[in-house]
């Protein structure tokens, strides 16, 4: 018999047709090799396999978490320096005691706060009402304040900022997952970076609705492409409640269902999940009309911000008669540049992306041009998420992608400094 500290090569390799003599199979193994073997056996134990299953995949750490955390650290550092060193736009501060709330809760954040504290219709100012804002962020802040047993403005806004960052990270992870599915693992990494360093991507960390819209919207499209129609419908409904523009996601979802149904991969009853999006939109509009007494409140509330439903070409033609400024509340040349650039990218997406994604980009882009104003276009373009997959299509070595990855963080830092000090951004 062979000694106990001998291992047999026949246990590690397939047995050949003619085995050599038994004694030639025995090879002495060192004590260190035995230790390594024991470690390997423990890594394959059932308990360790369960723990490894709970940990995120390696690509999530590399392609989603790293871009998000790195971009947030850079933006927060710029915001902190701006708050400490630059002259603010006005004497008022969102929070005199907390710099993070002061730099990440501006403008629309205060309208969401008014809904949390006083409800819809509980606050109005110079013709502006909070009926124009969606309910998801106020609900998140409300539940966070209830859990913490505090309802002061600082606490509620901190909850909103924390939840926005969590939702932003989820949105980025789902976008990378969508890119991996459509483009492959090698090309998906640049998509995460392109999205994380977008000039207005700091709104993913602010007390705004962008993160709460993008996370379910991206998830709905990913679920639909994977044939999970129940998940797609519920996430699409959540996106519609986060921002009314989410209802347009019904168009790419319907196209995807039709494509799968014709290929025999979807059932007819699953199309009902797509109808959940317009149903939720109409239900929310009906609720606003009931509490306000005006059945068109969802539309008329936007008039105070100079927004009305128009054809896209009317908005563009109106710009030709106006004098634009470098940037500001209205007639911003930066808004015009973003609108034109994303319009071109949406057109290109019909050649480079699957039809469902191209229709999703188109459906999310057209509302930007259909309100009679390009105000806040730099922020609204962030929601046209299928366009960012073009960075993966072209690859990180493409000159346009390289130029974008260099210039975009610079502009993002500049806009972050403006936003942190109270100047108008979007």
Per-residue pLDDT tens over the stretch 85-138: 988 887 777 887 788 999 999 889 999 999 999 899 877 676 688 898 999 999
Of residues 337, 314, 316, the one with CA closest to residue 327: 337
pLDDT, average across residues 141-166:
94
When mean pLDDT is compared across 241-255, 266-280, 290-304, the lowest value belongs to: 290-304
Q: Which residue has the tokens 């999205």?
A: 195
Confidence of residue 8 (pLDDT cuts 50, 70, 90): very low
Q: Tens digit of pLDDT for each residue in 367-411?
A: 998 888 888 899 999 999 999 999 999 999 999 999 999 999 999
When mean pLDDT is compared across 30-44, 61-75, 310-324, 380-394, the lowest value belongs to: 30-44
Q: Of 262-271, 301-310, 399-408, give the range with the top mean pLDDT.
A: 399-408
What Cα–Cα distance (Å) separates residue 317 from each residue in 320, 328, 362?
A: 5, 20, 19
Q: Of 93-107, 221-235, 280-294, 299-313, give the range with the top mean pLDDT.
A: 221-235
Rounded CA separation 247/251 (Å): 8
Q: How many CB atoms lie within 10 A of CB 237?
A: 24
Q: Kindly state the helix (H) or strand (E) to which residue 37 belongs, with its residue range.
A: helix 31-43
pTM summary value: 0.85
Reading phi first (left if > 0) and then psi (alpha if -120 to 50, else beta), residue 236 is in alpha
When mean pLDDT is compared across 97-111, 253-267, 275-289, 395-409, the lowest value belongs to: 97-111
Sign of CA dihedral 302, 107, 196, 170: negative
pLDDT of residue 126: 66
Q: Which residue has the tokens 């000039």?
A: 199
Q: Tens digit of pLDDT for each residue in 183-222?
A: 999 899 999 999 999 999 999 999 999 999 999 999 999 9
Between 320 and 216, residue with greater pLDDT: 216
Rounded CA separation 326/143 (Å): 40
């Amino acid at each position: 018999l062979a000694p106990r500290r001998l291992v047999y090569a026949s246990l590690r390799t397939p047995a050949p047709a003619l085995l050599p003599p038994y004694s030639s199979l025995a090879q002495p193994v060192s004590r260190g090799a035995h230790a390594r073997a024991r470690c390997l056996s423990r890594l394959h134990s059932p308990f360790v396999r369960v723990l490894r299953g709970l940990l995120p995949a390696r690509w999530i750490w590399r392609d989603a978490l790293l871009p998000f955390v790195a971009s947030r650290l850079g933006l927060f550092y710029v915001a902190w320096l701006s708050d400490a060193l630059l002259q603010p736009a006005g004497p008022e501060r969102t929070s005199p005691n907390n710099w993070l709330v002061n730099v990440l809760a501006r403008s629309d954040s205060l309208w969401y706060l008014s809904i949390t504290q006083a409800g819809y219709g509980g606050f109005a100012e110079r013709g502006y009402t909070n009926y124009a804002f969606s309910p998801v962020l106020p609900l998140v802040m409300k539940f966070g304040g209830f859990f913490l047993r505090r309802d002061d403005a600082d606490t509620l806004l901190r909850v909103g900022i924390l939840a926005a960052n969590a939702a932003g990270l989820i949105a980025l992870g789902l976008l990378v997952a969508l890119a991996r599915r459509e483009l492959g693992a090698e090309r998906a990494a640049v998509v995460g970076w392109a999205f994380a360093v977008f000039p207005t991507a700091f709104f993913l960390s602010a007390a705004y609705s962008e993160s709460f819209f993008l996370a379910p919207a991206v998830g709905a499209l990913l679920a639909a492409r994977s044939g999970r129609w129940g998940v797609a419908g519920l996430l699409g409904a959540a996106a519609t409640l986060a921002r009314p523009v989410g209802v347009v996601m019904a168009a790419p979802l319907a196209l995807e269902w039709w494509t799968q149904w014709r290929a025999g991969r979807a059932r007819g009853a699953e199309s009902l999940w797509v109808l959940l999006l317009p149903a939720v939109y109409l239900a929310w509009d009906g609720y606003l009309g009931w509490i306000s007494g005006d059945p068109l409140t969802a539309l008329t509330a936007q008039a105070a911000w100079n927004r009305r439903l128009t054809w896209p070409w009317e908005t563009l033609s109106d710009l030709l008669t106006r004098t634009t400024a470098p940037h500001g509340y209205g007639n911003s040349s930066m808004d015009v540049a973003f609108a034109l650039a994303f319009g071109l990218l949406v057109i290109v997406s019909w050649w480079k992306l699957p039809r469902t994604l191209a229709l999703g980009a188109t459906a999310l882009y057209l509302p930007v041009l259909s309100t009679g104003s390009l105000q806040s276009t730099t922020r609204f373009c962030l929601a046209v998420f299928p366009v960012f997959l073009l960075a993966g299509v072209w690859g990180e070595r493409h000159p346009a992608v390289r130029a974008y990855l260099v210039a975009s963080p610079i502009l993002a830092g500049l806009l972050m400094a403006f936003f942190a000090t109270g100047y108008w951004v979007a």
